Amino acid sequence: MSKAKFSASRRRFMQTAGAAVAMTALGPLSFKQAQAAGKYTIGVVYVGSRSDYGYNQSHAEAAASLKKMPGLKVVEEEKVPETVAVQKTMEAMINEDGAKMVFATSFGYFNPHVLKMAAKYPAVHFAHCGGLWTDKDPKNISSFFGYIDECEYLSGIVAAHASKSKKLGFIAAKPIPQVLRNINAFTLGAQSIDPSITTHVIFTGDWSLPVKEAEAANSLIDQGCDVLTCHVDGPKVIVETAEKRGVYTCGYHANQASLAPKGYLTGAEWNWATPYKILTDAAVAGKAPVNFLRGGLKEGFVKMSPYGKAVSDKAKKMADGAKAGMMKGDFVIFKGPLKDNAGKVAVAEGVKLGQQDPVLEQMNYLVAGVVGKI
Amino acid sequence: MRSSISDYGAWLLQRIWLPLTVALIILILFAAFVALIGQSPAEVSGLLYQGGFGSAFAWQNTLLRASPLILTGLAVAIPAQAGMVMIGAEGALALGALAGAVGGIALQGAAPHVVQAGVLLAGMLCGAVWVGLSGWLRNYRGVNETISSLLFSYIGIALLNYFVEGPLKDPDSLNKPSTRPIGDNNMIGNLPGMDVHYGLLIGVLFALISWIVLTFTTSGFSLRLIGGNVRAAQMAGLRVGLWVTGAAAMGGAAAGLAGAIEVAAVQGSANASVVSGYGYTGILVAFMARQNALAVIPVAILIGGLEAAGGMLQRRLDVPDAVVLVLQGIAFVVIIASETLRGRQLFRLTPVAAKAGGAA
Amino acid sequence: MTGSGLGLWGIPLEVLAGAIRVSTPYLLVSLGECITEKSGRINLGLEGVLVMGAMAGYATSLASGSPWLGVLAAGLVGALFGLLHGLLCSMPRVNDIAIGISIMLLGIGLAFLLGKPLIQPQAPTLGAIPFGFWSDSPQIRSALQINPLFLLGVLLAFVLHYAFRYTRWGMRLRIVGDSEDAARALGYPVLPTRISATMLGGFLAGIGGAFLSLYYPGSWNEGLSSGQGIIAVALVIFARWEPLRCLWASLLFGAAGALGPALQSIGITSAYYLLNAAPYFLTLAILIATCAPNRTLQGAPGELSLVR
């Protein structure tokens, strides 16, 4: 290379370097804005898109409800993978945005990411959705979750009334305890009406695979299932496919009634605003974090979609009856004798597992009547 | 070709000023886009700088995110020397993580350093075999390596999922199916005085050694000869099959190592979380670095910085992640297209680049 | 089995139905990419174009009420992205593979950003032709609901097969793709041919996206494409740049993909990750079985940077 060219490049280098310095000067401008008015800052981290019409949106709606509370500032980051990225995102919320509380909404964030950050920042309150906090874990973690299996049980009751073939279909992402509990509760609800009912399960392998979910829905319908429900991140495709094929659906995460005016029976919905408010109020008031927070229909953590047109009065009566028991707090979904679908005893005779029992959060079986293996 | 130290200086400078000029073009385009969606360009560029490089925290954030990308970038850049377009790093990373975890569990009870070495070696070996297969198939069966590496990648991810949710599942991992942990005391720690784990150093060393070998040794020359003209290489007496398979395996080793580091420095066990797109981003890193093993380092840091900064954009401006994706898309398109700005081609690093240059 | 299920007999029907339903995006994208690659360029960005097409098609259908207008819009947006790729790659020293990957990211980002308001509403979707009217079985009737875009794709595969061989256009495309020098010597415009071939490829990929959002699964969301665009590009190499082989490859891929859910619906759920990876295993196995060292280059355009 010639000398002339060398100096030309050098000059240009200085120019761009100057531009970089100018940009640095701009930095503090925006920083000031973020620290506005000494508000209590809360960070919320999502694994998927905030507008997925499913799981992440249900959390984003709760975050939106926090924004309306006075004295709070909410910063959000979506599509944060369960890698160092989430650790750094939580740390950035704390270091760069001054967050005093962080909501980590994906189960996969818990171990090791939330555990590590909670140990590193003992003054920050970490609220994690779905995790199983134990005595060994940092005290500044709250793990919260909702007993949505109650809604699944009620959906099962409604589905059993609607089904003619007595075959129900369940499309699930992965055979993890949270999902298995839903499948089992749905099946038990249906079997409380007709013990001969079976639930056919398809695992797609991941949380958002619309084409595979549509394929699964079609396969189940072709096998004679006439009520479908699911546990994937965005149920829209499944609800729509069922409606097109003329079978019934029960929704999940949010109310999908508008997608299937004919076939939508009811659905299991989150109401995260309740735990978000409980945890935030306590944190703002400076109280020690509740480490283990759970709630069902009674506590308002979950709710049912309004019944669709196709739901018979008899079905409504039965479901409402069970719901009343749940609201009172004395309804037990998982009680012995209960066998799994391999014939082994899952819950022994005489044993009643109340909703709060942590054993239920380690569920690793499908109950008798579910067709499929884990 | 290069002959003296001053040439290297000039070469280095071009390496510096060109990216900066390009950065300016990107900023202008992005300003237009940002204004279009109703945000302030000045604020956005300020945030981008602040979030990626504006503080010690931001730098460490950036470096941590860059660390796996250096290795996955090499997974593409090294086979490219021999004229291969490998796009299967994601699957090799997944299997590297799985093998690393299995190795770590098998070595339980040994000294932490032994376990760590075992994890990393197992990951490297597994990745090397997985991508090496694509190289071998190309040479001995004539199977196009781009498609076979992509298919192998999907299969590798399926295998990881199968094993962590099936035979290798730790019953205690509940809602996040994982292998058993390799143990807290066996985890790779942070670099002294930093909040960045040793994986960064391993990646940088891998890149440096690769660059030295590829640039200054006959091995590098042989690979480029094969990449440039297989027949000439055969006539020169090179055992093409061995070199091609070896280059593919070295790339695979880099990807497998990235997976093993994810286990040993971050996750503590193998699970589906390691499949987070590092392998695909690595393709971009390699192409932006023009398949130069050394240039992979700054490019990976740039992308790491963009990701760190993207988080800050989301939080401060309440914009969706898609805005960050668009920014990255604009940035990458401009950077790749800026190849054309190069005054003259200083050297032909890779047959791929050379071929594209020749074809246009 | 109880009820109206088909049991084991449902499997072949499921696989057939799946092949028809799932294969169309692969088919359209791979045919588009086939045209592009015949001209000597590779556009690895079709995944982004597909997603962009899916979003644009859904948005247009929602706004206009006409899904076919959506298909057209998706094609046009795809062509626009093809034009961008074609122009950028026409500049000296710009690598087509790398530009493709960056355009993929840009397309996905734009589609996600502009598609935010489209996730919840329901747009009018494309209908299907009921070829199963003769049957009493709802399963068969459903399996033979065939979307016109699938038929269009099949027809196009035959048309391209013929056109590549026997028309002036096809000849010019192949010469430009095989040897720039020869094309110049014959007076063929190299860059315009390549740019228009890339646009055409983008057009078809956009329509492939519209099939996803407007027919199957018939909805817009950010997870809609799980790599169909990338796989389709790979299928072109698999098909050795032959449109008819693209058709068979797409059908095979769709059929293999339907196998997993079909088996699970009758209770065979173990190892479903491996079952779901069946298309990849199968493609790889066929590839290994049919390749030989001296046949690698068969059908490959000489100017293609990917295959040398």
What is the tens place of the pLDDT at every residue in B207-220? 999 999 999 999 99
- Distance in angstroms (rounded) separating the CA atoms of residues A207 and B322: 19
Q: What is the mean pLDDT of chain B?
A: 89
pLDDT (0 to 100) of residue B351: 41
Provide the number of CB pairs (under 8 Å) joining chain A to chain C.
149
* B162 with C296: Cβ contact below 8 A: no
pLDDT (0 to 100) of residue A6: 37
* C2 with A216: Cβ contact below 8 A: no
Of the candidates A169, A223, A236, which has its C-beta nearest C6's C-beta? A223
* B308 with A88: Cβ contact below 8 A: yes
Write out pLDDT tens, residues B21-62: 787 888 889 889 999 988 888 898 899 999 999 999 999 999
Closest residue of B to C40, CA-based?
B359
Write out pLDDT tens, residues A134-165: 999 999 999 999 999 999 999 999 999 999 99
* A210 with C222: Cβ contact below 8 A: no
* C217 with A241: Cβ contact below 8 A: yes
Res. C7 pLDDT band, cuts 50 70 90: low
pLDDT (0 to 100) of residue B231: 84
Q: How far is C22 from chain A (nearest CA, A)?
A: 8
A51 touches chain C (CB under 8 A): yes
- The better pLDDT of the pair A324, C135 is held by A324
* B155 with C277: Cβ contact below 8 A: yes
Q: Determine the average pLDDT of the residues in B117-139.
A: 96
Closest residue of A to B197, CA-based?
A84
Q: Determine the average pLDDT of the residues in B12-27.
A: 76
* A92 with B308: Cβ contact below 8 A: yes
Kindly state the percentage of chain C with pLDDT values over 90: 66
- Distance in angstroms (rounded) separating the CA atoms of residues A325 and A314: 17
Q: Which residues of B touch C234 (CB under 8 A)?
A: 146-147, 150-151
- Distance in angstroms (rounded) separating the CA atoms of residues C216 and C228: 13
Q: Which residues of C touch B340 (CB under 8 A)?
A: 91-94
**Residue A242 pLDDT > 50:** yes
Residue ranges of A 195-234 with Cβ closer than 8 A to chain C:
198, 200-205, 208-216, 218-226, 233-234
Task: Tell me if B290 sits within 8 A of B346, measured CB to CB.
Answer: no
Q: How far is B150 from chain A (nearest CA, A)?
A: 19
C179 touches chain B (CB under 8 A): no
- Distance in angstroms (rounded) separating the CA atoms of residues B115 and B134: 29
Q: Which residues of A touch C6 (CB under 8 A)?
A: 222-224
Residue ranges of C 156-195 with Cβ closer than 8 A to chain A:
none
Instruction: Report DSSP state, residue C6.
Output: -
pLDDT (0 to 100) of residue A21: 41
* C119 with A241: Cβ contact below 8 A: no
Q: What is the mean pLDDT of chain A?
A: 89
Closest residue of C to A51, CA-based?
C116
Query: Best mutation site among B134, B318, B336 for testing chain C: the one with the most C CBs within 10 Å?
Result: B336
Q: Which runs of E-coded beta strand occur in A35-93?
A: 40-45, 72-77
Tokens at residue A160, please? 């059993």
Does domain B40-318 fall under CATH 1.10.3470? My reply is yes
Does domain C4-289 fall under CATH 2.50.20? My reply is no
pLDDT (0 to 100) of residue B6: 62
**Residue A349 pLDDT > 80:** yes
- Distance in angstroms (rounded) separating the CA atoms of residues B250 and A272: 48
Q: Which residues of C touch A51 (CB under 8 A)?
A: 116, 119
Q: How far is B191 from chain C (nearest CA, A)?
A: 33
- Paired with A42 in beta bridges are A74, A101
Q: Which residues of A touch B49 (CB under 8 A)?
A: 20, 23-24, 26-27
Provide the number of CB pairs (under 8 Å) joining chain B to chain C.
169
pLDDT (0 to 100) of residue B356: 38
Q: How far is C266 from chain A (nearest CA, A)?
A: 7
- Distance in angstroms (rounded) separating the CA atoms of residues C271 and C260: 10
Of the candidates B336, B352, B353, which has its C-beta nearest C99's C-beta? B336
pTM of this prediction? 0.90
Of the candidates B13, B46, B57, which has its C-beta nearest A23's C-beta? B46
Q: Which runs of E-coded beta strand occur in chain A?
A: 40-45, 72-77, 99-104, 125-129, 141-146, 167-172, 198-203, 227-231, 248-253, 264-270, 292-295, 302-304, 334-335, 338-339, 345-347, 352-353, 370-371
**H runs (alpha helix) in chain C:** 10-38, 46-64, 67-89, 96-115, 138-143, 148-166, 168-178, 180-185, 190-214, 228-238, 243-265, 272-276, 278-290
| Neighbours, chain C (3 or more CB pairs < 8 A) | A, B
* Residue B37 backbone phi and psi in degrees, to 5: -95, 15
3-state secondary structure of A130: coil
Token look-up 């996040």 returns B176
Instruction: Report DSSP state, residue C293.
Output: G
* B158 with C277: Cβ contact below 8 A: yes
Closest among B70, B100, B135 to B279, alpha carbons compared: B70
Q: Which of A235-239, A245-249, C13-17, C289-293 has the lowest mean pLDDT?
A: C289-293
C89 touches chain B (CB under 8 A): yes
Token look-up 């067709």 returns A371
Q: Which residues of C touch B333 (CB under 8 A)?
A: 88, 99, 102-103, 106
Closest residue of B to C177, CA-based?
B359
Q: What angle is formed at CA B204 by the lines to CA B200 and CA B207, rounded to 5 degrees?
A: 140
3-state secondary structure of A44: strand
Write out pLDDT tens, residues C79-119: 999 999 999 999 988 989 999 999 999 999 999 999 999 99
- The better pLDDT of the pair B233, C26 is held by C26
Query: Best mutation site among C93, C198, C246, C282 for testing chain B: the one with the most B CBs within 10 Å?
Result: C93
Closest residue of B to C100, CA-based?
B333
**Residue C136 pLDDT > 80:** yes
Res. C5 pLDDT band, cuts 50 70 90: low
Q: How far is B246 from chain A (nearest CA, A)?
A: 30
Alpha carbon B58 to its chain's center: 20
C217 touches chain A (CB under 8 A): yes
DSSP class per residue in B240-292:
HHHHHHHHHHHHHHHHHHHHHHIIIIIISS-BGGG-SSHHHHHHHHHHHTTT-
Kindly state the percentage of chain A with pLDDT values over 70: 90
Closest among C179, C176, C225 to C205, alpha carbons compared: C225
- The better pLDDT of the pair B344, B175 is held by B175
Res. A124 pLDDT band, cuts 50 70 90: very high
Q: Which residues of C touch A169 (CB under 8 A)?
A: 265
DSSP class per residue in A136-161:
TS-TTEEEEEE-THHHHHHHHHHHHH
* A92 with B57: Cβ contact below 8 A: yes
Closest among C83, C82, C233, C247 to C159, alpha carbons compared: C247
Task: Tell me if C229 sits within 8 A of C49, measured CB to CB.
Answer: yes
C183 touches chain B (CB under 8 A): no
* C92 with B147: Cβ contact below 8 A: no
* B17 with A16: Cβ contact below 8 A: yes
Kindly state the percentage of chain C with pLDDT values over 70: 95
Res. B93 pLDDT band, cuts 50 70 90: very high
DSSP class per residue in B130-182:
HHHHHHHHHHHH---HHHHHHHHHHHHHHHHHHHHHTTT--GGGTTS-BPPP-
pLDDT (0 to 100) of residue C294: 64
* A212 with C226: Cβ contact below 8 A: yes
Q: Which residues of B touch A205 (CB under 8 A)?
A: 161
pLDDT (0 to 100) of residue C58: 97
Q: How far is C277 from chain B (nearest CA, A)?
A: 6
Closest among A360, A146, A135, A96 to A273, alpha carbons compared: A146
Res. C141 pLDDT band, cuts 50 70 90: confident
Res. B4 pLDDT band, cuts 50 70 90: low
Name the residue type at position B156: G
* A215 with C22: Cβ contact below 8 A: yes
**Residue C185 pLDDT > 80:** yes
* C101 with B148: Cβ contact below 8 A: no
* Residue B315 backbone phi and psi in degrees, to 5: -75, -40
pLDDT (0 to 100) of residue B5: 62
Q: How far is A53 from chain C (nearest CA, A)?
A: 6
Res. C307 pLDDT band, cuts 50 70 90: low
